[in-house]
Amino acid sequence: MAITVRNLTKFYGHEKAVSDISFDVKTGEILGFLGPNGAGKTTTMKIITCYMPPSAGTVDVDGYNIADHSLEVRRKIGYLPELNPLYMDMNVLEYLEYAAQLHRLGSARTKQQMSLMVEMCGLKDVRHKDIGELSKGYRQRVGLAQAMIHEPDVLILDEPTSGLDPNQIVEIRNLIKQLGRAKTVILSTHILSEVQATCDRVIIINKGEIVADGTPSELQDKFQGTEVVTLEIKTAVQNVMTDVFPKIQSIPGVQSIEYGGAMGDIHRFSVHGQKGTDVREDLFKKAVSEKWILLEMGRKGTSLEEVFHQLTKE
């Protein structure tokens, strides 16, 4: 395992921020680390990166314990914190050179890595500008470049797409996916669609405790409530409540129906079936037998946002 966390606990005074959590992250895995504000995400990341010590528990990174071998751990990790630490009076190239020197890269490798980071992170047009002149999105790119400049085996990214526009988000998402083929990546974000598109696995933490761990699809299946099918039909009826609802309700497995409104003779429904059932075939047969024109039918799964809300609501 690239990262092994065991019984990790952190107190701030009498307040317990992280409570006895354990998990592993494999090499080549992109882990989405999710939770509401104050859940313990950033604290856990800071402990893994040796930014602060735990109150109890252990963390190993590629076999090195953070307490006994913190320098070796820091060499293996690239860290983009939530509050991006940048020197505003440096230009981009100066800052990347400074970051490379902190990691004791040689002169030739420093130049090579600076050029690579400028290309990978889309900084070519601003490389000679002072960081203080850059937009928040470009500053975030500079922070990502410094995290990767020493070619770390592990990347810890706290809100890496914060402040980026939609096009930049797609670029950084693709970059993270590309990096994840060879590196271990832990990223925290509140943009759950990014997790869906980027992460191999998700851990959700709430009030310092892990409340879910699995792939996005596993979590969606596990916390699926009723099966929902969206239905759009065209039929001329006098009263949809008496002429259509009872016929859909008679289908085995249908629990409830929500009416989505009408536009002329076109009617929309959300049909809720029992968990583990798929009523689409019977809905199709019912539409044929009733001579309804079937315009649209689709199965609506539980979104990652809904899973997150279920697990973290008060």
Residue pLDDT, tens place only, 20-30: 999 999 988 99
d(CA 261, CA 62) in angstroms, rounded, equals: 57
What topology does CATH give the domain 227-301? Alpha-Beta Plaits (3.30.70)
Tell me the longest C-alpha to C-alpha distance in the chain. 81
Q: Of all residues in the chain, what percent are helix, strand and coil, respectively (each to 5)?
A: 35, 30, 35
**Start and end residues for every CATH 3.40.50.300 domain found in the chain:** 3-221
Task: Give the whole-number percent of the chain exceeding pLDDT 70.
Answer: 98
Residue pLDDT, tens place only, 228-249: 899 999 999 889 999 999 999 9
- What is 3-221's CATH superfamily? P-loop containing nucleotide triphosphate hydrolases (3.40.50.300)
**Start and end residues for every CATH 3.30.70.3100 domain found in the chain:** 227-301
Residue pLDDT, tens place only, 247-263: 999 999 898 999 999 99
pLDDT of residue 222: 80
User: Do 259 and 252 touch, CB atoms closer than 8 A?
Assistant: no
pTM of the model: 0.78
Neighbours of 227 (CB within 10 A): 22
